[in-house]
Structure 1
Amino acid sequence: MNVLVLFGAILFILMTIIGGKKGAKSFIALFFNFGVLIFILFFMTNPDFNPIIITVIACALISCINLFFINDINSKTKTAFLSTIITTVVLLLMIIVVTDKAMIQGFGEEEIEELGVFSLFIGVDFVKIAASVIIVSTIGAIADAAMAISSPMQEMFTHHPSISRKDLFAFGISIGKDILGTSTNTLFFAFFGSYLALLIWFKDLSYYFGEIINSKIFSSEMITIFFAGIGVTLVIPITAWISAYFFVKTRDKTIKG
């Protein structure tokens, strides 16, 4: 049996046993997300389409899959989805500016040898492509953090329906503080593990610390990690405020009705 099929089957069985119906949906969502990424690749290389717009649409689709498909359409997934989209748009505006100013778009000198036989005049905006890559790399962490805050806030509101908006917001912030450190560290170690071979290569080539920091490959990945951390940080107050506002407003409307 192909090793990919074997590990896929093991993952599906474990997710189904432990997560039940939601676990099975989560496994299926992996393939839906993969389809969205293929969608991005198909349009991203077409000069007639704006990569930024395509990325925003893709992020909305990924958020819908990860939130609504897995956890159904309810108040906590709605607030998490809205928070994710708002955070993504705000982050995207920052990413476009930083990508242009930092000059991290395109390819680094370490990749020139492999790309030397190809033409780089393909008619696409590499600044927008780089911005799209960064935002796609962060959308999963942002949606995960939004859901991790919205869900316990709904539980708190369910068990304490008379809680004030201010106290509910403070509760959401306290949850965000708990997950902030672990989320940012997860992003950092994911980068370190993925690019360990690159760091070893830098060592073998006797790169100085300054050369490593200024390397386009290293800089672009570190900027991605920083933006992912910024996104996770921003989504905490945004989700806490939107959830507190939505839950309390729904309660007040029900009482008045």
Structure 2
Amino acid sequence: MGAHGHGQEHGHGHGHGGAPGEALEPLPRRTRRTLTAVVLVVLAAAVAGVVATWPGEVPSASTTYVGAQTVRGDVTGTRMLTCRAELAEERLPDGTLPETVECPEARVRVDGSAREVTVTVPAAVFHGGLSAGDRVVLTEYPGEAGGPAVYAWEDVDRRVPLVVLVTVFVVLTVAVGRRRGLAALAGLAVGGAAIAFHVVPALLTEENAVVVGLSSAVAVMGFVLYLTHGFSARTTVAYLGTVAGLLVTAGAAVLAVDATHLTGLSDESAYTVTVLTGAVDLRGVVLAGTLVAALGLLNDVTITQAAAVWEVRAARGGGFRELFAAGMRVGRDHLASTVYTVTFAYAGAAMPSLLLLRLYDQPVGQLVNSAAIAEELVRSAVGGIALALTVPLTTALAAALVLRSRPAAGPGAGT
């Protein structure tokens, strides 16, 4: 096998490929070593970035009243009352305060207690279908001078339906995807852990947002892709294409955020973060969020492109031009569908802001200029730019590498 195999390998590396339908053997050893070295360098750089930006002591801002505790209970009844409008957020679109506003209440039997308490409920929660038997979460404040405790509305208790929903998702993913489904869930868990233990704390300690987002994303995708799709040249092409797409995303996001002067203060949660921490640069949060959001998109596209080129080569053969052209035909369709899918996903996320802006009947130009809509437009545009550049790059890399494979020597050869 030694000299003969090497001669075949060398000859094929400069040819047009095997006949259509022939199985392909692994890439030549030198090519595999080169790819492995490149991947290891990329992963080492990502790990170094994670280590360099690993957060120290994360600031804490407790908003819990001393002595207060969270309790749960069951709603036994609800009723609608009216009260005088006094808060700024209760103003009408013309700026005036209405005479009265809705003040719904709920009676709740607290767990471990036979008595019922009455709490004021947000009108949106009441109209959302709050009724007897629903589980809710309250905050219990100790009474003054030994008096009875005071209760305030906190939220609906969603734990049981959420557990059921997630369980169904996991079961169906494993049942349909089998080993790959299980691997994808493991990768999802790793990605969630990276966001929870690296990205979020690092942003709160004001580490460089681009380095944080890139290092975590590159490291996580290396683990996820190889775990889910196995160690192969196709997976490596997809991984390197994803890394290239993330670099493009980072560069485009920095330019776009700077040019549009986005501050990240587009919702109440963002504003609260700045108040509680005092110094978090939310512009960096926008950048890191854009990188994290791009992960799934780029992964989907690069895996598809690599697989498409390999399948075309196995089915039809051909040289670089033919493989690249065939791969791009798949890529254009995928790119088109992904772009509007991403845009609609971001539009769905910004729906509350769209409703509010429509109520104030602002001109289209003013609506687009608002921070909430501008952020979603920037994310959509940056994602589109990254996808548009990643598709041909991944396709070209896949076509170049698949031509390094040679037809299997016989029925027993590996693929």
For the aligned pair, the TM-score class normalised by the smaller chain equals: 0.7 to 0.9
Match for residue 213 of structure 1 among 368, 392, 410: 368
Q: Structure 2 regions of 5+ residues with no counterpart?
A: 1-158, 410-415
Equivalent of residue 169 in structure 1, options 316, 324, 327: 324
Matches within 5 A, 1:41-56: 41-47=200-206, 49-56=207-214
2:79 is equivalent to residue 79 of structure 1: no
Counterpart-to-counterpart distance in 1, 2:359 and 2:194: 38
Q: CA deviation at 1:116?
A: 10
**Match of residue 239 from structure 1:** 394
Match of 2:357 in 1: 202
Larger Rg: 2
- Aligned partners of 2:192, 2:296: CA distance in 1, in Å? 13
Alpha-carbon distance in 1 for matches of 2:380, 2:273: 29
Which 5+ residue runs of structure 1 have no aligned equivalent? none
Q: 1:43 to 1:120 in 2, by over 3 A?
A: closer
- Correspondence for 1:105 among 259, 263, 271: 263
**Structure 1 length as normaliser, TM-score?**
0.88
Percent identity over paired residues:
18
| Distance of aligned partners of 1:228 and 1:4 in 2 relative to their CA distance in 1, 3 Å threshold | same
Q: 1:78 to 1:112 in 2, by over 3 A?
A: closer
The 1:8/1:100 distance shift into structure 2, 3 A limit, reads: same
For the residues of structure 2 that align with 1:174 and 1:245, how far apart are their CA atoms? 17
Aligned to 2:51: none
Do structure 1's residue 133 and structure 2's residue 292 form an aligned pair? no
Task: Give the whole-Å Cα distance in 1 for the aligned partners of 2:199 and 2:225.
Answer: 20
CA contact (8 A) 2:350 2:372 kept: no
Amino acid at match of 1:169: F
Q: For residues 5 and 119 of structure 1, do their structure 2 counterparts lie closer, same or farther at Cα, with a shift above 3 Å needed?
A: closer
Structure 1: how far apart are the matches of 2:389 and 2:235?
18
Shift of 1:99: 0.9
Q: Does 1:118 align with 2:282?
A: no
Q: Tell me which residue corresponds to 1:148.
A: 304
Shift of 1:120: 6.8
State the alpha-carbon separation in 2 of the partners of residues 156 and 84 from structure 1: 21
Structure 2 vs 1, CA of residues 23 and 210 (structure 1 numbering), >3 Å: closer, same or farther?
A: same
Structure showing the higher helix proportion among its residues: 1
Change (3 A) 1:158 1:211: same
CA displacement 1:155-199 (0-9 Å, x = unmatched): 222334x42111111111111012112111111111122221221
Partner of residue 155, structure 2: none
Letter in 2 for 1:204: L
Higher strand share: 2
CA contact (8 A) 1:33 1:65 kept: no
In 2, distance between residues paired with 1:62 and 1:28?
Answer: 11
Cα deviation 1:3-46 (Å, max 9, x = unaligned): 11111111112112221211122223222211111121111221
Letter of the 1:69 counterpart: L
One-letter amino acid of the structure 2 residue matched with residue 163 of structure 1:
G
1:192 aligns with 2:363: no
